[in-house]
Amino acid sequence: MGDRVIRVRRLIGIGLAGTAMVAAVSLIPALPAAAAPLHGAGGHGTYLALGDSVAFGYVPPNAVPAPDYFDASSFVGYPEDVAQALHIPVANASCPGETTASFYIPGAQSNGCENAPGSSVGYRTDFPLHVKYAGTQMLYALKYLATHRNTRLVTINIGANDVFLCQETTADACASPAELQAVLKKIEVNLTVIYTLIRDVARYHGPLVALTYYSLSYSDPTQVAGTEALNSAIASVTEKFGGKVADGFAAFEGPSAAFGGSPCAAGLLIKLPDGTCNIHPSPAGHQLLAQAIEDVI
């Protein structure tokens, strides 16, 4: 692994990103030898989905019908829609509450994946994910790509929980431009590490697609500006690594326009019994996000 550390350091250079990369690689054990191409269900290729609760297909407990958290297959997100459209199996490694740091750093602060602010427990400490793994989502991805050389697609959506953490842990709810810029910089640094590990350690050079986030209100300038800033940070790093950007923001914007800019009223978010909406996509919303990914591949 030593030669990979040296090579990656040269790729990233000196600075915060380089330091984060060296630390990340040092935490990764030797990867398994590459497996022979799969036959049967995966013979025509496989799909690896990475990310947070949006990719997971999370449904809140107060939704009707209530979700079964002990049956991960009952949660269906855009990765399952994409896999069906491409006719290939998907390994959905996403974890609700994952941050760009907890994605690859063991024990890093998440927003409910393995831990939460003020708590040492999270979703995956109590409930199963779509795929079972120990360690970080990054480690699972590297092992998966090493043993599935016929992977046709990798998608990722991550970064929103970094902003949510800032909102939850600062006195002004991350309202300061300086605080937001600091979070966006951390996202860029962490995504640089994540993508470099995928491209240069796992040696995956196939299609890599980052899905950007939709706005919870297209009529609220503050909400739109914040979402666009987050998406811009994600897109800029993704494109540097030859990845493509699926426009989740635009996917919801058009249909929401007919409802005053509200994705809730447009039926794209999960409706709750009190008439409001949860922040997570409805089945119709997931289909639009899947289409955004399909449009760029």
- pLDDT, one tens digit per residue, over 122-146 is 999 999 999 999 999 999 999 999 9
Whether the pLDDT of residue 205 is over 50: the answer is yes
Which distant-in-sequence residues (6+ apart) come within 8 Å of 294 by Cβ? 82, 85, 86
Q: How many CB atoms lie within 10 A of CB 223?
A: 14
Contact 209, 243 (CB under 8 A): yes
Range with the poorest average pLDDT among 39-43, 62-66, 283-287: 39-43
Contact 254, 215 (CB under 8 A): no
Q: Provide the 3-class DSSP secondary structure of residue 210.
A: strand
> Which band of pLDDT confidence, cut at 50, 70 and 90, is reported for residue 37?
very low
Mean pLDDT over residues 217-235, rounded? 98
Contact 153, 92 (CB under 8 A): no
CA dist., res. 224 & res. 55, Å (int):
21
CA-CA-CA-CA dihedral for 261, 262, 268, 274, to nearest 10: -170
Whether the pLDDT of residue 12 is over 50: the answer is no
What DSSP string describes 165-177? HHHHHSTTTT-SH
Mean pLDDT of the chain: 89
pLDDT given at position 28? 56
Taking the whole predicted model, whether its pTM rises above 0.85 is answered as yes
> Which band of pLDDT confidence, cut at 50, 70 and 90, is reported for residue 272?
very high
Q: Provide the 3-class DSSP secondary structure of residue 270.
A: strand
Q: Which residue has the tokens 């919801």?
A: 252
- Residue 184 vs residues 96, 155, 162: alpha-carbon distances, Å: 20, 20, 8
Which distant-in-sequence residues (6+ apart) come within 8 Å of 155 by Cβ? 47, 48, 49, 50, 51, 55, 79, 82, 208, 209, 210, 211, 246, 293
Whether the pLDDT of residue 286 is over 50: the answer is yes
- pLDDT, one tens digit per residue, over 100-129 is 999 999 999 999 999 999 999 999 999 999
pLDDT given at position 44? 74
Percent of the chain with pLDDT over 70: 86
Whether the pLDDT of residue 168 is over 70: the answer is yes
Residues in the chain, total: 297
Contact 193, 20 (CB under 8 A): yes
